[in-house]
Structure 1
């Protein structure tokens, strides 16, 4: 079963949704049968970080509210994150443009480390105050999940995976994604938002049951004895 997840590294509900989905995956009876594919989505692709600006001030400028109201909103979000075991540290969060970070996730996918790369970036941004605008920071984070530093630096400099990011975003437009996180199960069912774990488990169960029901059912011919066959241990 393939599950595609459109998200942004700096989307607070995307990290919360990741945890809830993971909880749902544990509740689902066949987690080993699920392939998770992370898709890129930039909430503010034209964002330009302002040196020294806090995340509270950045949110306030984006929404046209006061920095105090921005802080209040972030405090509320931190409370929601805590419910799923995430310790958001907004006092040290560095506002970032995520185009390069999304390219790093694609590089991670190329080496079979996509989920680990996604997790590392989200943790770095929300809980450790790492600057995702900085290429060397991204290189260091990549090496922590097993990526080669020289290859990572070269790929980010050359934009090797830039087109892959843009294609993910094009796909999001085609299927009408208005916000993230956005989950698509087997190109058939969609779930929008950081829904409860139980809902994710329910959807995966439904997809699984439908797939099993669609498998060809073999019916033995009545009254016929088994004929001679060959197997791994030889022929009868």
Structure 2
């Protein structure tokens, strides 16, 4: 019997610099996912999360609300900040996200980024990013607390004992800092910042249509250099790696 199968091919890489404390990063993730779902060649695209810290000086102690933090940092009135938060909450609803910004507490995100870097080595970077976003924006969890981060990691399938390395092994801190340094080198000044095939940058939580257009443009160029070939295979008796012969 003859069949046709695609030979293995690389995937076009889409990188996104993000901080889990950034409300537009979670919204941008949803907008990108909406675009990807409409993209015919989505199986040949891989999303890679990159670390970025909006405020490296933030405390690891959960003692300051979003409202208080923004009033202090931006020098705006309470009413002005409330109006801004309400607008972001409404924007999130439009892409299916429920934000509880008034109860979310600002903390340092470095440990959470270490956990994301560890999860990436296990093929769970996107799942970890998603879980941390929901924990911060919807569940108002302290994403600087090691016990909470460990729980969130195990929820997506990471081994509890193994993932402690995320917080103790300097490798993962180094990976976070490398991403941040790379962001400076390519001129990232705000997040989310998407880079398609190292050629096209998209800044901010753009509409899904903008992401889709960039996917189509960048992938068309990438495809010219990475053609996917279909082999015609004549099926017969084989032995497999597990020792089974059929």
Deviation (angstroms), 1:211: 3.0
**TM alignment of 1:102-141, pairs within 5 A:** 102-141=113-152
Q: Which moved more, 1:68-77 or 1:27-36?
A: 68-77
Q: Which moved more, 1:147-156 or 1:195-204?
A: 147-156
Deviation (angstroms), 1:85: 0.4
The equivalent residue for 1:219 is: none
Are 1:192 and 2:214 counterparts?
Answer: no
Among 67, 91, 99, the alignment partner of 1:88 is: 99
The equivalent residue for 2:180 is: 169
Q: CA RMSD in A?
A: 1.9
* Structure 1, unpaired ranges of 5+: 217-230
Deviation (angstroms), 1:90: 1.4
Deviation (angstroms), 1:232: 4.8
Mapped to 2, the partners of 1:213 and 1:154 lie a distance apart of: 40
- Look up the SS of the partner of 2:107 in the other structure: coil
- Look up the SS of the partner of 1:191 in the other structure: strand
The equivalent residue for 2:21 is: 10
State which structure, 1 or 2, has the greater radius of gyration over its C-alpha atoms: 1
- Look up the SS of the partner of 2:143 in the other structure: coil
Mapped to 2, the partners of 1:158 and 1:67 lie a distance apart of: 41
The equivalent residue for 1:206 is: 217
Deviation (angstroms), 1:64: 1.2
Mapped to 2, the partners of 1:211 and 1:75 lie a distance apart of: 40
Mapped to 2, the partners of 1:120 and 1:25 lie a distance apart of: 20
Mapped to 1, the partners of 2:187 and 2:166 lie a distance apart of: 30
Query: Is the Cα–Cα contact under 8 Å of residues 78 and 88 in structure 1 kept in the other structure?
Result: yes
Mapped to 2, the partners of 1:72 and 1:50 lie a distance apart of: 26
Query: Is the Cα–Cα contact under 8 Å of residues 56 and 68 in structure 1 kept in the other structure?
Result: no
TM-score when scaled to structure 2?
A: 0.84
The equivalent residue for 1:21 is: 32
- Look up the SS of the partner of 1:87 in the other structure: coil
**TM alignment of 1:29-40, pairs within 5 A:** 29-40=40-51
Query: Is the Cα–Cα contact under 8 Å of residues 108 and 147 in structure 1 kept in the other structure?
Result: yes
Q: Which moved more, 1:38-47 or 1:202-211?
A: 202-211
Mapped to 1, the partners of 2:44 and 2:193 lie a distance apart of: 20
Q: Which moved more, 1:26-35 or 1:116-125?
A: 26-35
Mapped to 2, the partners of 1:95 and 1:212 lie a distance apart of: 42
* Shift in CA distance, 51/16, structure 1 to aligned 2, threshold 3 Å: closer
* Structure 2, unpaired ranges of 5+: 1-11, 228-232, 237-246
Higher RCO structure, 1 or 2 (CA under 8 Å, sep 6+): 2
The equivalent residue for 1:157 is: 168
* Shift in CA distance, 162/65, structure 1 to aligned 2, threshold 3 Å: same
* Shift in CA distance, 10/215, structure 1 to aligned 2, threshold 3 Å: closer
Among 81, 87, 91, the alignment partner of 1:76 is: 87
